[in-house]
Structure 1
């Protein structure tokens, strides 16, 4: 896809990976709407982004029916149509499953899985009408290699990935492509409450690097973008070929990892 002149909606676009993607698509000549729950943060982000092109913003919670309706109506008014939907908004609560509240579990399911599914459903007719539509689902490397203490998060992110795979095949030949992004540990506000570092396999990269890879994937009509380089590729292969070996590796890391992520929360 050539992004010049495309109309792009990015959920969770006021910071982190969403903000970096907004910067990157603006640099390619796209027009952008960003969404989020905090009006002031969105306004400030939009003001900075407007240095690179046309940006509008709408404060809406896409995990609610009203928020999705508001997002759809505003986007169509602001852009006149839609070519690219980036499902980036998400939340996480790490820790042992039995220490995770039902409210936290349900929040991850609603924000990370239900919201992008229902928002995509609402936007599909508009995306199809563009003739060159694209859905980008930002999942997580944990969807490929699940780490302990992220059981619900891994489940919903893997669910989003398989949703995208199925939808890609459903929409094949109908003018809508679907691409799945698997970021690794990324230096974003979402990761600030995590103390897991390189010694535990969490080597953080800047959000701009993820965004650059997303742009490359868009331009190549890729099915997926996997971050983490050779180390991630080796873990994925080991998880497929000898999962017990990876279980043993995580067993050795469990005490330190449990302590490092017990306060990791961004919901």
Structure 2
């Protein structure tokens, strides 16, 4: 494992990327949560094009069925499991169904939700919904799937979908930021715990992405929320995985600059964001996918 600094498209040096040996992504068998739409669906399609056999997990059966049909059209094999991942024992059910289908050498913890706005305006139900789906569910599902990932003769892949907000916590996203930085910390610790095990632990940090989840947000490029096409984000993800990267950041260069500043001088970020706080609050207060 080695640190590898790359020059970003804006000429700045990007954060060090922890890289191991390249990964073979063909013919993977496993689970993608939230696989019916958005980034999860796009990741599923990318693996299906490489011959994957996938179990798509989500709440909406119709959405999952449509996504599974798309996966089959591009050469993959797909099954669906309509399930609330926050329900008791849901993680065990997912692993049971996946193992009945042949095995798990890929787990993508993608399912998540968001409710933006001031913390004082958040309901307890909203807070618990984000904590349970964004953080508790992936931890429990990873715990349940880990024996199968460790036993895989091809080496397991554990991929967690964090957020650019996991690298740069933003105002009006306090609870969401807590869940996404929590997922990142979970992956860092688990990667170190699994050193030498053959399981590759990776985290994706997408910036604002043009998906249904972002449709209710009015924040755009002027506030640092310039959106990338989901296909471009996932293409970068797959390239990073194939290179053996552990930390894959797909944010736009403008956002990366603020991420760099947050690492070196977080109070300077406070000062930079302060003049735009009223505009930002107005733009994101309706951002909700719960």
| TM-score between both structures, scaled by the size of structure 1 | 0.96
Match of 1:153 in 2: 176
Partner of 2:213: 190
For the 8 Å contact 1:128–1:175, the answer to whether it is kept is yes
Map 1:130-145; keep pairs closer than 5 Å.
130-131=152-153, 132-145=155-168
- Residue 229 of structure 1, CA deviation: 3.9
- Alpha-carbon distance between aligned partners in 1 of 2:244 and 2:197, rounded to the nearest angstrom: 15
Aligned pairs for 1:102-141 within 5 A: 102-131=124-153, 132-141=155-164
Misfit runs of 4+, over 4 Å: none
The offset of 1:183, in angstroms, is: 0.4
1:64 to 71, 87, 92: 87
Deviation at 1:68, TM superposition (A): 1.7
Q: Which residue of 2 aligns with 1:30?
A: 52
Number of equivalent positions: 266
- SS of aligned partner of 2:160: strand
Deviation at 1:144, TM superposition (A): 0.7
Match of 2:7 in 1: none
Deviations 1:214-243 (A, max 9, x none): 211221111110012432332122112222
- Offset of 1:56 from its aligned partner? 1.1
CA RMSD of aligned residues (A): 1.1
User: Runs of 5+ in structure 2 lacking a partner?
Assistant: 1-22
* Residue among 19, 28, 38 paired with 1:6: 28
| 2:97 maps to 1:82 | no
**Residue 206 of structure 1 corresponds to which residue in structure 2?**
229
Matching residue of 1:99: 121
Deviations 1:153-203 (A, max 9, x none): 001100000000000010111121210110000011111111111111100
Residue-by-residue CA offset, 1:95-129 (whole Å, 9 max, x unaligned): 00000011100110000000000000000000001
1:68-119 Cα deviation digits (max 9, x unpaired): 22211111122x1111100000000000000001110011000000000000
Q: Who is 2:61 aligned against?
A: 39
Q: Is the 8 A contact 1:61 1:68 kept in 2?
A: no
Whole-angstrom CA distance in 1 between matches of 2:163 and 2:175: 12
Which moved further from structure 2: 107-116 or 40-49? 40-49
Alignment equivalent of 2:276, drawn from 253, 258, 262: 253
1:219 aligns with 2:242: yes
1:32 and 1:209 map into 2 onto residues whose CA distance is 22
- Distance in 2 (CA, whole Å) between partners of 1:190 and 1:91 is 8
The CA deviation string for residues 122-148 of structure 1, in whole angstroms up to 9 with x for no partner, is: 000000010301110100000111110
Larger deviation, residues 14-23 vs 228-237: 228-237
CA distance in 1, matches of 2:65, 2:52: 19
1:235 pairs with 254, 258, 268, which one?
Answer: 258
